[in-house]
Chain A
Amino acid sequence: MKRFEVPIRILFIVLVAIIAWSLRARAVEKLNIDFDEDDYMRAGQEYTHLIRTSNWSGFLDTNYRPEHPPLAKIVIGLSLLSAPEKDLIRDAPTTSEPNKYLPRELVKPARTTNAILGWLTVILLAIINPLAGLALATHTFTIKYVSQIMLEALPALTSFITVLAYLQFKKKEKTNWLITSAIFLGLTAASKYLYCFVGIAILIDWFLEAKSKEKIKPFLRQALVWGVIAFAIFFIANPYLWTNPIGRLQESVFYHAQYSSSAEEVNRAGYPFWQPFNWLFFSPIAWHEDVFLFAPDIWITLLAVIGLTRLWKRERVYVLWIGVALLFLLFWKTKWPQYIIIFTVPLSLSAAEGIATLWNQLVEWWKNRQVQRTTISKNEARRAIPWLVPGLIAFAIFTIFPLIFQVVVSMTDFNSASIRDGFQGGIWRAFWEGITGQIPISEWDGSRANQVRFTGLTSYPFVFNEIANGNGSGNSILFFNIMWAVVSVILQGGLGLGVALLLWQRGVQLGKFWQALFILPWAIPEMIGALMWFNIFQREWGWLYLAAEKFGADSFFGVFTRNLENSPSLWLITFLLPALWYGFPFMMLAASTGLKIIPKEVYDAAAMDGANAMQTFRYVTLPLLLPLLLPAIIVRGIFAFNQFYLFQTFYFLDGTLATLSYNVFNPTGYFGGGQFATSAVINIITVLILIIFVSMFNRWSKAEEGVVNA
C-alpha cells in the first residue's frame, strides 16, 4: 500500500488542479461585471500605458484608487500589455453601479491573470493537504473574487506563502526562510493591507513558541528584523510612496477608517456586526446564474468548525489566522463579502481537518459497535413484549407516523391551492405514483397547481438555499438561528451562574426571598413573558417609545430608541433581554443544585493553600461545576434553537427555523401562506440538525452522569 501512496497523492493533486482551473476558467468567462472591476481596470490601464511608453518615472505618481497600494494593480497592468490599447475607463464614484460596458478584450486577460494566481494558491494548498486544496478549489466565493478584476488574488497567494515560509523557518530554523516570509509579507502589504492580518497571526504563534521554549529575547530580535524587512519590501514594491512616503501612507490608511465610518454604501448596506459569518454561510451562486455548478461554501464552513481543534493541534498558526481575521472583520464596520477571502485558505485547511475528524469518529464508532454487542437474554426480551407493544403502537401513531408522513409531504408540492385534492388522498396518490415511477418528477419551482404533484427531493436544495443564505440577500436564517442559540445560552448561563454564586455565599440576607423572586420569569409562560417585553419594546406604544415621546429626543430614552432603530445590530438586544430574563432562572437553579453537591472540604483545602476568592472560583468551583451544568446548557441551547413564541410575539417571522416553518405554513399568514410542503421540508432540516445536537447531549450527559443523577 505504501508504494502507491505517493502516486495517488500526486494524482489527487493533479485532479484538484484540473478542477480548480476549470471552475476558475468558467468564472472568468461567465461572471458578469461587478462593482469595482472598472476601477481596477482603469488603474491597470494607467500602468500599461506607462510601461508601453517607457515612462518609468510615471510610476512615482500613479495609483488610481490610492486607498489600496499599487502592486496588485500593476500586475493587472502587466496582464493588459498583450491586449490592444483602449480608452481609459471613465472615473466613477465608489457608489456607482457596476460598469457593464468594459471592453471584453481587456477583461479577459486581466481576469485570467488573477485566476492563474488564484489557481496557484490552490495548487500550493493541495500540495500541503489535497483535501484542503479541493475545498479551496470549489469554494464559490473564492472562485468569484479571484477570477474578477479585483485585488484579492495576488495578496491571497502571497499571504499564504508568507505563512508557509514562516512554518519552514519554525521547523528548520533557517534564516533564509524567515527572510522569504518577510519578503512575501511585504509584497502582501503592497497589494492590499487587509491581508496583512496573517502577520499578526504569525507573531502570536511565534511568541507562544518562543515562550514555551523560553527564548523570548531571540524572538524579539528576529521578529524585529522580520518586520523591518517586510516594511522595506513593502516600500520598494510601492513606488507611489517613494516621493512622499508619510503623506501618502497616511492618506491611504485614513481613507479606510473614514470610508468604514461614513461611506454612503457602507451605511446603506446596513450589515449587522456578524455579517462575516453570514458570508461564510453564503454562496454567490444566488447572484450569478449559470456560473457555479454547486455551492459547497456552507459545508466548508461547517466542516471547518469541526476541524478547528484538530488543526490547532497540528498547526496552530492557521487557527490563529482564522481567529485574527474573523475578529477584525467582526469589529470593522465595512463588511464587503470579498473580505472573507483573506482567510479562505486556512478555512479550507480546517475543513479538511474536519473531514478527518469525522472520518476518525466513524472508524471509532464502527470498531466500538463490534465490541459493545452484548448478548440479550431471550427470556428478558420476551418479557418486554407485552409492555413494548401497546407503547410502541401509541408512539408510532402519535410521533413516528406524523414524522414519516412529513417526509411524504415534503416530497410533494402540497400547498393551499391543492388543499382539496391533498385532503382527498392526493398526497398519497402523488407520492405513490412518483415513488413507483408511474409519473415523472415535476421539478419544484414554487408554483401552485390545484393538484398535488410529486417533486421528489427537488425542493430540498431550494429551501435549504433559502434558509442558508436568504436566497441572495446575504442574510442567513440558519446562521442567525445557531448564533441565537449560542449567544442567548451563554448570557443565560452567565447570569444564572452569577446569581447562584451570589446567593450561595454564606449569610446572605433574604436569600429565600430573592430566589423565589428570580424564579418568576421561568414560571411565566413564554408567550406571556414575550408579551411583557413586547409591551416595552414595541415601536409605537411600547414603554420605551412612550417614554422617549414624553421625555424628549435628547433624554436617555430618546437616544436609546434612536440608536435601536438606526443600528443594524443593536436590535438583537430587544430579543436577547427577554431571552435572558426568561432563561436565567433555570440556569440559576441548575447551578445552585450543582453548588450544593460540591463538598465543603474542597474549599477548606483551597483555603489552607492560601487561595484567594478569584483563584478558588477559577480552580475549584468552576471545574467542578461546569460538568454538572453542561446538560442544562445543552437543554437550554436546544430550546433556544427551537425558540418560537418569543419571535412570533415580536413579529420577527423568520427569526428561527421553527418560526419560519410556522409562518410559511400558516394559511392566513405571511410569506404567501399555506406552503405546507415547504414547511415540511424546513421541519425535516430542523430534525436533521437536532439529531446532531441531541447526540452531543447524549454523549456529554453520559460522560458526566448529569445533574439529576449526581
Chain B
Amino acid sequence: MHKISTRKQIITQSLLTLIGLFVLLPIWGMIRLAFDGSLKGRPTEFRFFPKEWSLTAFLQVLDRPYQSVEFSVLLKNSLIVSFGAALLAIVLGISLAYAFARFRFPARKQGLFAILLTAFLPPVAFMTPLYILLSILQIRTTLFALVLVYASFALPFCIWNMRAAFQAIPKEIEEAAFLDGAGDFRTFLNITLPLALPSIAISGLIAFLMAYSEFAIGWLFVDKADNVTLAMSIYAIVQSQYSGGAQPWSYLGSLVIIISIPVIIVFLVFQYTLLEHMLFGSAE
C-alpha cells in the first residue's frame, strides 16, 4: 500500500469536513443557546451565533439550576447515585463473574445466557417491577432507591464484563499460587483481583456513566426536588418549557455542556477500552 495522491487527499479531507459539520452542527446549536444572554425563554428567531455573548447562564446554572436547589446538591446527588450504583454492581457481581470465569459447574451455559440476556434488556424492562417492589418497601422516593435501581440495571452488564476480565488472566498464574499453598480465596485476592482491576474499573465506569446520564426512570421514582440528579434536572427544565416555563433556554444549553464535558473527556481517553467492553466480548 502506498500513500494516497493529492487529489485523493483533497477528496478525503472534504468528505471528512462534511461529516465533521454533521457532527458539530447539533452541538453548536446547544452551544449557541448556552452563551446567548439575550434569551428570555425558548429561542424565537433564527441565529447562527448568540445575539449577546454572555456567561450569565453558566454562572446561574452553577448556582441554582433547578427550582431552588443548589448545583452542589444536584452534583452531590448525581455522584452518590452513580458511584453507589457502580460500586454496588461491582461488589455484588464480582463473585459470580469469577465463578463463571474459572469453574465448570452444572447449568453454567444457561446461566451465562441468562446474564447476557438480562444485560441486553432495556432499563424500562426492570422499571415496572422495581417501582412496585420499592413502593411496597416504602423507600421508592429516596436516593438509596435510585442507587438500587441503577445498580440493578448495571449488574448483568458488569457481571458479564468482569467475567471477561477474569478470563483474560492466564490460568497458569493462578496455578503457580496454588502450588505455593494458597487457597482459592487468597489466590483471588492477591493475584487475580489486582490484575483484573483496571478492566473491572472500566466496567464500573460504564455503570457510573449510565447512572450519571439517566433521567426518565429517575423521575418515575423520585418526586422530591432534593433528591434530583443533574441529568434529571435537565429533563425538568425541558418539561417546564412545555408548561410555559420560566427559565431561559441558555440555562438548558449551559447545563447540558457542564454535564457532558466530564463524560466526553472519559470517552476520549478510554475510547478503545470502552468499545471493547460495550461489545460484550464474545460468548463462549
Q: How many Å lie between the Cα of A400 and that of B114 in the bound state?
A: 9
Decide: A690 and B128 in contact? CB cutoff 8 A. Answer: no
B155 surroundings in chain A (CB, below 8 A): 394-395, 398-399
List of 4 A-B pairs having minimum Cβ-Cβ separation, nearest first: A391-B96, A706-B282, A525-B213, A523-B267
In the complex, whether A658 has a CB less than 8 A from a CB of chain B is: yes
Binds B, one of A37-45, A52-60, A401-409: A401-409
B217 surroundings in chain A (CB, below 8 A): 662
Closest chain B CB from A651 CB (angstroms): 9
Decide: A395 and B96 in contact? CB cutoff 8 A. Answer: yes
User: What are some 5 contacts across the A-B interface (CB < 8 A)?
Assistant: A384-B99, A391-B159, A644-B124, A644-B216, A694-B113
**Residue of A376, A391, A503 touching B99 (CB-CB under 8 A):** A391
Give chain B's interface residues, CB within 8 Å of chain A: 1-4, 8-9, 12-13, 15-16, 19-20, 22-27, 29-30, 33, 42-46, 92-99, 102-106, 113-118, 120-133, 135-136, 148, 151-152, 155-156, 159, 164, 184-185, 209, 212-213, 215-217, 220, 231, 234-235, 238, 252, 256, 259-260, 263-264, 266-268, 271-272, 275-276, 278-284
Decide: A661 and B121 in contact? CB cutoff 8 A. Answer: no
A603 surroundings in chain B (CB, below 8 A): 1
Known contacts A531-B238, A631-B279; decide if A683 and B159 are in contact (CB<8 Å). no
16 more A-B contacts (CB under 8 A) besides A525-B213, A546-B45, A666-B220? A384-B103, A384-B105, A387-B99, A390-B95, A395-B155, A406-B129, A506-B2, A514-B20, A519-B271, A523-B268, A531-B234, A532-B26, A549-B45, A658-B124, A686-B125, A709-B281
Closest chain A CB from B216 CB (angstroms): 6
B123 surroundings in chain A (CB, below 8 A): 644
Known contacts A399-B156, A506-B2, A509-B13; decide if A391 and B164 are in contact (CB<8 Å). no
Q: How many Å lie between the Cα of A586 and that of B22 in the bound state?
A: 16
B127 surroundings in chain A (CB, below 8 A): 661-662, 665, 679
**Residue of B97, B231, B252 touching A391 (CB-CB under 8 A):** B97
- Whose C-beta in chain A lies nearest to the C-beta of B20? A517
Q: How many Å lie between the Cα of A707 and that of B279 in the bound state?
A: 8
Decide: B279 and A522 in contact? CB cutoff 8 A. Answer: no
**Residue of A531, A535, A593 touching B272 (CB-CB under 8 A):** A593
B23 surroundings in chain A (CB, below 8 A): 517-518, 520-521, 581
Known contacts A391-B99, A589-B272; decide if A679 and B128 are in contact (CB<8 Å). yes
Q: How many Å lie between the Cα of A528 and that of B150 in the bound state?
A: 19
Count, A-B residue pairs, CB within 8 A? 306
- Whose C-beta in chain A lies nearest to the C-beta of B151? A398
Decide: A676 and B128 in contact? CB cutoff 8 A. Answer: yes
- Whose C-beta in chain B lies nearest to the C-beta of A524? B260
Known contacts A394-B92, A694-B113, A707-B279; decide if A508 and B12 are in contact (CB<8 Å). yes
Decide: B96 and A661 in contact? CB cutoff 8 A. Answer: no
Closest chain B CB from A562 CB (angstroms): 16
Known contacts A380-B103, A528-B213; decide if A506 and B4 are in contact (CB<8 Å). yes
Closest chain B CB from A368 CB (angstroms): 12
Closest chain A CB from B179 CB (angstroms): 16
Decide: B121 and A395 in contact? CB cutoff 8 A. Answer: no
A600 surroundings in chain B (CB, below 8 A): 1
Known contacts A391-B96, A531-B256, A603-B1; decide if A376 and B26 are in contact (CB<8 Å). no
Binds B, one of A129-137, A265-273, A695-703: A695-703
Known contacts A394-B96, A531-B234; decide if A702 and B267 are in contact (CB<8 Å). no
Decide: B113 and A589 in contact? CB cutoff 8 A. Answer: no
Q: Interface residues of A toward B: which range? A: 35 or more
Decide: A409 and B45 in contact? CB cutoff 8 A. Answer: no
Closest chain B CB from A535 CB (angstroms): 5
Closest chain A CB from B217 CB (angstroms): 8
Decide: A662 and B105 in contact? CB cutoff 8 A. Answer: no
Interface string of A120-148 (1 = CB under 8 A from B): 00000000000000000000000000000
Q: How many Å lie between the Cα of A403 and that of B123 in the bound state?
A: 12
B13 surroundings in chain A (CB, below 8 A): 508-510
Closest chain A CB from B44 CB (angstroms): 7
Interface string of A670-710 (1 = CB under 8 A from B): 00000010011001001100110111011001101111110
Closest chain B CB from A387 CB (angstroms): 4
- Whose C-beta in chain B lies nearest to the C-beta of A631? B279
Q: How many Å lie between the Cα of A635 and that of B280 in the bound state?
A: 8
Closest chain A CB from B81 CB (angstroms): 14
B184 surroundings in chain A (CB, below 8 A): 383, 386-387
Decide: A505 and B29 in contact? CB cutoff 8 A. Answer: no
Q: How many Å lie between the Cα of A658 and that of B122 in the bound state?
A: 7
B164 surroundings in chain A (CB, below 8 A): 708
Interface string of A602-642 (1 = CB under 8 A from B): 01100100000000000000000000000110010010001
In the complex, whether A388 has a CB less than 8 A from a CB of chain B is: yes
Decide: A680 and B260 in contact? CB cutoff 8 A. Answer: no
A524 surroundings in chain B (CB, below 8 A): 27, 260, 263-264
**Residue of A399, A427, A518 touching B19 (CB-CB under 8 A):** A518
A541 surroundings in chain B (CB, below 8 A): 42-44
Known contacts A528-B260, A679-B128; decide if A387 and B98 are in contact (CB<8 Å). yes
B16 surroundings in chain A (CB, below 8 A): 499, 502-503, 510, 514
Decide: B96 and A701 in contact? CB cutoff 8 A. Answer: no
In the complex, whether A152 has a CB less than 8 A from a CB of chain B is: no
Decide: B275 and A586 in contact? CB cutoff 8 A. Answer: yes
- Whose C-beta in chain B lies nearest to the C-beta of A662? B124
Interface string of A367-389 (1 = CB under 8 A from B): 00000000011001101101110
Decide: B99 and A686 in contact? CB cutoff 8 A. Answer: no
- Whose C-beta in chain B lies nearest to the C-beta of A709? B282
A506 surroundings in chain B (CB, below 8 A): 1-4
Decide: A409 and B116 in contact? CB cutoff 8 A. Answer: no
Decide: B121 and A690 in contact? CB cutoff 8 A. Answer: yes
Q: How many Å lie between the Cα of A693 and that of B133 in the bound state?
A: 29
A528 surroundings in chain B (CB, below 8 A): 213, 234, 256, 259-260
- Give residues of chain A (646-675) contacting chain B, Cβ–Cβ below 8 Å: 648-649, 658-659, 661-662, 665-667
B105 surroundings in chain A (CB, below 8 A): 376, 380-381, 384, 388
In the complex, whether A392 has a CB less than 8 A from a CB of chain B is: yes
In the complex, whether A346 has a CB less than 8 A from a CB of chain B is: no
Closest chain B CB from A596 CB (angstroms): 10
Q: How many Å lie between the Cα of A509 and that of B10 in the bound state?
A: 10
B26 surroundings in chain A (CB, below 8 A): 529, 532-533, 535-536, 578, 581
Decide: A590 and B264 in contact? CB cutoff 8 A. Answer: no
Decide: A686 and B279 in contact? CB cutoff 8 A. Answer: no
Decide: A398 and B99 in contact? CB cutoff 8 A. Answer: no
- Whose C-beta in chain B lies nearest to the C-beta of A664? B128
Closest chain A CB from B209 CB (angstroms): 8
Decide: A690 and B136 in contact? CB cutoff 8 A. Answer: no
Closest chain B CB from A584 CB (angstroms): 8
